[in-house]
A and B are shown apart, each in its own frame.
Chain A
Amino acid sequence: MNSPIPVPATPRTPTDWNSPAMQNRIRRRYAAERRFKALGLVSILVSAAFLAFLLITMVGNGARGFTQTEIRLPVDFARSTLMLDPAALKGFGADAALAGADIEGVTAAAADAAFGDGGARLLSDGAWLSVREAIKERPEVLQGKADIWVPAATSVDLAAKGDGDAAGEAAYARLKAANAVQTGINLTFLTKADSTDPTLVGIWGALKGSLVTMFVTLILAFPIGVLSALYLEEYAPRNRWTDLIEVSINNLAAVPSIIFGLLGLAVFLNFMHLPRSAPLVGGLTLALMTMPVIVIAGRNAIKSVPPSIRDAALGIGASRVQVVFHHVLPLALPGILTGTIIGMARALGETAPLLMIGMRAFLASPPGGITDPATVLPVQIFLWSDEVSRGFVEKTSAAIIVLLVFLLAMNGLAIYLRNRFERRW
């Protein structure tokens, strides 16, 4: 304190900031920065281009999947061979009465009458279903003539959308001239399940299957994952066992999903005898896959809560559980939720493990509960893309759009939750 500050013995030579070597270094530094910026820009552009390509082709192909061409079919019920008593169509007996009637034949006959020989081929195979619906809704049509809008056959439908073959184009032109055709929103697609006829398929069955499966996954994976993360971070002592668990969880997150499918098949179906093809089993299998992701994201989020907050709470006499649930968990929640949704989004897009446990069955009706047979969006896409009929191409793209919208909604939710709960200090 009292000794003088020592002075260096030799005076230092001043740095020459203008020397050629120095100038050279500066130039190289600027060049490196420019290079890095350009590289970054190029990679962003490349990924944006891929994304744009994907979206544009999907929307271009898939938008048509959401519309359906319909044909106005005049049916003369009074003269038809249909022996139906309008009175029998009121109340509970209706379905039984309709089941016995030859509506298919009447529909085909009406088409032939209206559009000439072969007219029935202009209609979808399921056109008679629309006729049946019409009868059911308004039994009084049976007394006279009625115009009923029925789905067009695939060839006409494609022609209406500008993608048909010669025969289809000709038929479409004829119908158009007769003012008997229109293209509108395809409600069937949004409300029905799978079908063998592309004009009658719906995505709702698979969408509902996905929703129910995701629900099972979330209910299982979220609490287990979050509690594991909390325990490992806040309670578990650091020793060989916890190290082992940590390594195992990290490895589990990297295991290919098909392995989880095999595991689900072996454990849930063959050993526990849970129902095949059910969202319950699909959810269990995907939960196995999602849980490690949640644990890892959760631990990182919990780790990033400053220790000073824990000290502060402990210092005024909060118990460990109070520290965790009053302070650590609320502060870690945005990170945990983001991780959870990323894990769920991955699970939503999984196909392979669900094929293993039989969620690829052909199902003409949406699942009623978690133990009913069901399929999910990606599997439905996989199945439709395998179909030979041309009508399935646009349906496949439309299903992909539905899946992407679902994914975007989930990611949007993740961003919303993160901003909503994020606290800064």
Chain B
Amino acid sequence: MNDHTLNDIAAHQPAATEGTLKMAARNVNVFYGAKQAIRDVSIDVTQENVTAFIGPSGCGKSTFLRTLNRMNDTVASARVEGQITLDGEDIYSPSMDVVQLRARVGMVFQKPNPFPKSIYENVAYGPRIHGLAAAKADMDQIVEKSLKRAGLWEEVKDRLTDSGTALSGGQQQRLCIARAIAVDPEVILMDEPCSALDPIATAKIEELIHELRGRYAIVIVTHNMQQAARVSQRTAFFHLGTLVEYGDTSEIFTNPRETRTKDYITGRYG
């Protein structure tokens, strides 16, 4: 990996704007049983900027990402301390409905995981369970709009009844993104969405993230430094469960404050 290309890429990014606060985490600790996976992390996610989480494997990026829509609730041993807010509302307070929260904070997973149903059904499922479409025509419109936004419409418009699992890996991942945006979330969390994809499919997804930026607050976990530099405006570097450095992507990649950050992004360890 070459520092210059990274710097170049980061320098060509649209600059991070101040942004309006969407989600805020304060002093978050996450435990798996007795083992602490996240230590005292505080972070702000803004509406206008794409936020990238980077860090060596096992440092807790996925764990932290999953606290943002309470997917950790499904892990019996997981325990979350601290405060996380969405539009100022504590998402771990008892009055928060976790189903609604996950509709507002959507998630795209590392491995494409379409339902073994038709392409149409994959996208329509979310709107259907949340009652977002009154009539079949509305639903058709939501499906078309979501697939267009996910850049998949042209490829699948003639075979909406085919199984979602019959698509290629990259198409499947874009289908999962379409499925996530079909419920019109406010935040989209992506956990290494391109790790199973080839460079062309990856480029498509990155393009997509550019297009979705601003409409949704986006958080993306990635192991690919260039990708972080290409798609994000803010970058958070995690190490051993702590947040080492968080700042504008151009800053982090050109002029990191911490030596650990510098070592990691230049590939000296991790």
A interface, CB within 8 angstroms of B:
1, 237-238, 306, 308-319, 322, 326-327, 331, 423-425
The 10 lowest CB-CB distance pairs between A and B, nearest first, are A317-B103, A308-B113, A315-B107, A425-B165, A316-B126, A317-B102, A312-B113, A423-B116, A425-B116, A319-B99
Known: A309-B116, A317-B183, A318-B125. 8 other contacts (CB 8 A): A308-B113, A311-B107, A311-B109, A313-B125, A315-B71, A315-B107, A316-B180, A317-B100
Contacts of A319 in B (CB 8 A): 99
Residues of A within 8 A of B176 (CB): 312
Q: Does B34 contact A (CB under 8 A)?
A: no
- Bound form: Cα–Cα A308–B176 in Å: 12
| Residue from the list B99, B115, B116, B268 in contact with A317, Cβ < 8 A | B99
25 pairs of residues in contact across A and B, judged by CB atoms under 8 Å: A1-B267, A1-B268, A238-B76, A306-B113, A309-B116, A311-B113, A312-B114, A312-B179, A314-B71, A314-B74, A314-B102, A315-B102, A316-B103, A316-B126, A316-B129, A316-B179, A317-B103, A317-B130, A318-B99, A318-B125, A318-B129, A326-B125, A326-B129, A327-B115, A331-B116
Give CA–CA (A423, B130) in the complex, Å. Answer: 26
List of A residues within 8 angstroms of B111 by Cβ? 308
Instruction: Count chain A CB atoms within 10 A of each CB in B103, B116, B179, B267 and give the residue with the most.
Output: B116
Measured between alpha carbons, how far is A124 from B33 in the docked complex, in Å? 80
Q: What A residues does B67 contact at CB under 8 A?
A: none
Instruction: Provide the residues of chain A in CB contact with B1, threshold 8 Å.
Output: 1
Residues of chain A contacted by B71 (CB below 8 angstroms): 311, 314-315
Report chain B residues within 8 Å CB of A315: 69, 71, 102, 106-109, 180
Check A316–B268 contact: CB distance below 8 A.
no
Tell me the bound Cα distance from A264 to B74 in angstroms.
Answer: 40
Distance in angstroms between the alpha carbons of A60 and B179 in the assembled complex: 61
- Chain A: minimal CB distance from B180 (Å): 6
Bits for B116-134, please: 1 = Cβ < 8 Å to A, else 0.
Answer: 1000000001100110000
Distance A103 CA – B187 CA, assembled complex (angstroms):
90
- Contacts known (A318-B129, A425-B165); A312 close to B268, Cβ less than 8 A: no
What per-residue 1/0 map shows which CB atoms of B91-106 lie under 8 Å from chain A?
0000000011111101
Separation in Å of the A385 CB from the closest CB of chain B?
49
Report the Cα distance A86→B102, complex, angstroms: 83
User: Taking each of A311, A313, A317, A327, which has the highest tally of chain B beta carbons within 10 Å of its own beta carbon?
Assistant: A317
Give Cα A318 to B1, complex, Å: 41
**A-chain residues with CB within 8 Å of residue B74 when the two chains form the complex:** 310-311, 314
Chain B residues in 8 Å Cβ range of A317: 99-104, 126, 129-130, 183
Query: Which residues from B are CB-within-8-Å of A1?
Result: 1, 267-268
A322 touches B268 (CB 8 A): no
Q: What is the number of contacts between chain A and chain B, taking CB atoms within 8 Å?
A: 74
Q: How far is the CA of A308 from the CA of B115 in the complex (A)?
A: 9
A1-B1, A308-B111, A322-B129 known; A316 and B106 CB under 8 Å? yes
What 0/1 readout, one digit per residue, does chain B (162-192) give for beta carbons within 8 Å of chain A? 0101000000000010011011000000000
Cβ-closest chain B residue relative to A1: B267
Alpha-carbon gap, A111 to B100, bound state (A): 87
Distance between A159 CB and nearest chain B CB, rounded to angstroms: 63
**B166 to chain A: closest residue by CB:** A425
Expressed in whole angstroms, the Cα–Cα distance for A425 and B165 within the complex equals 6
| A residues near B76, Cβ cutoff 8 Å | 237-238
Within the complex, what minimum Cβ distance (angstroms) separates B267 from chain A? 5
Residues of A within 8 A of B99 (CB): 317-319
**Nearest CB of chain B from residue A396's CB, rounded to whole Å:** 48
The residues of A that contact B108 with a CB separation of less than 8 Å are 315
Which residue of A237, A238, A312, A314 is within 8 Å of B115 (Cβ)?
A312
**Complex Cα spacing A310 to B71, Å:** 11
Complex CA–CA separation, A308 to B180 (angstroms): 15
Residues on A with C-beta less than 8 A from B115 are 309, 312-313, 327
In the assembled complex, how far is the CB of residue A315 from the closest CB belonging to chain B, in whole angstroms? 4
Of chain B, the residue at the smallest CB distance from A315 is B107
Give the docked Cα–Cα distance between A310 and B115 (Å). 9
Separation in Å of the A161 CB from the closest CB of chain B? 56
The distance in angstroms between the C-alpha atoms of A312 and B109, with both chains bound, is 8
Complex: chain B residue closest to A317, CB-CB: B103
Bound-state Cα–Cα, A315 to B114, Å: 12
CB distance from B216 to the nearest CB of A (A): 14
Closest residue of chain A to B180, judged by CB?
Answer: A316
Q: A237: which B residues are within 8 A, CB to CB?
A: 76
Inter-chain contacts of A318 with B (CB < 8 A): 99, 125-126, 129
- Give the residue name and chain of the A residue nearest to B268 (CB): A1
Assembled-state Cα–Cα distance A393/B237 (Å) = 83
Complex CA–CA separation, A331 to B113 (angstroms): 14
Across the interface, which residues of A come within 8 angstroms of B182, CB to CB? 316
Q: In the complex, A424→B76 CA distance in Å?
A: 29
Min CB distance B185 to A, Å, is 8
Residues in A with CB closer than 8 Å to B267 are 1
In angstroms, Cα B100 to Cα A310, docked, is 16
- Cα–Cα distance between A311 and B108 once the two chains are bound (Å): 10
By a CB distance below 8 angstroms, the chain A residues around B100 are: 317
